[in-house]
Amino acid sequence: MLEVALDGALLKFLLDEVEDPVCHQVFEKINNDESRHLAVDFEVLNMIGHAKARKLAIEFIGNIASPGLIIGALMYLPLLNRVRNELADMGMEPERLYNAVKRFKQLGERGDFTTRVPTYQVLKRHAAMVVNPRHPYHLLANTMVRLSDFYPKPLLKPVPSWFNELTHEPAA
């Protein structure tokens, strides 16, 4: 989902906003790389969709019932909504994200067996909720964003030391 948003919305938004030719060349390479990743992702989903429905259901339930996935989802929801909110605050039109999600759905439906994969169906429905600001999902997600502001800072991992060494100056 984040890959689709990055490729389909954020990179195009930044290309429109930034007037730097070097930046445009870099984003073109990133966009090409992301496009290849998406193509492989959807081909793998299509291959997974060849499995029998019983096997797909058992694997889906087995994966979704794992504590790691549940905790990951609890961390993912506020992260995704915070990013969406901040992109909107930066001036990115919601239609860009909506179009990226629509593209995700179109790519998934292009494969003969992708729609049989339960994980694809969950992500597709979740994406539709994320881009619809009136969906009740946002009551939960935005509440989680606000609650994450109160997370005790001492429990966060420290910022890596190399981060402070980053500048806009070329290193080579």
Residue 172 placed within a domain: no
pLDDT grade, residue 105 (50/70/90)?
A: confident
From CA 156, how far away is CA 158, in angstroms rounded? Answer: 6
Residue 108 placed within a domain: yes
Residue 55 placed within a domain: yes
Which residues fall within 8 angstroms of residue 148, CB to CB, at 6 or more apart?
A: 78, 82
Rounded-to-10 torsion of CA 96, 3, 62, 75: -80
CA torsion sign for 77, 82, 85, 90 is negative
Of 45-54, 86-95, 114-123, 158-167, which range is least confident?
A: 86-95
- At residue 146, the pLDDT reads 94
Residue 145 placed within a domain: yes
Mean pLDDT confidence for 91-112: 84
From CA 160, how far away is CA 70, in angstroms rounded? Answer: 27
High-pLDDT (> 70) share of the chain, %: 94
Count of CA atoms in the C-beta half-sphere (13 A) of 121: 9
How many domains does the structure of the chain reveal? Answer: 1
Residue 169 placed within a domain: no
Residue 156 placed within a domain: no
Question: Residue 125 belongs to what domain range?
Answer: 2-150
Residue 161 placed within a domain: no
From CA 37, how far away is CA 110, in angstroms rounded? Answer: 16
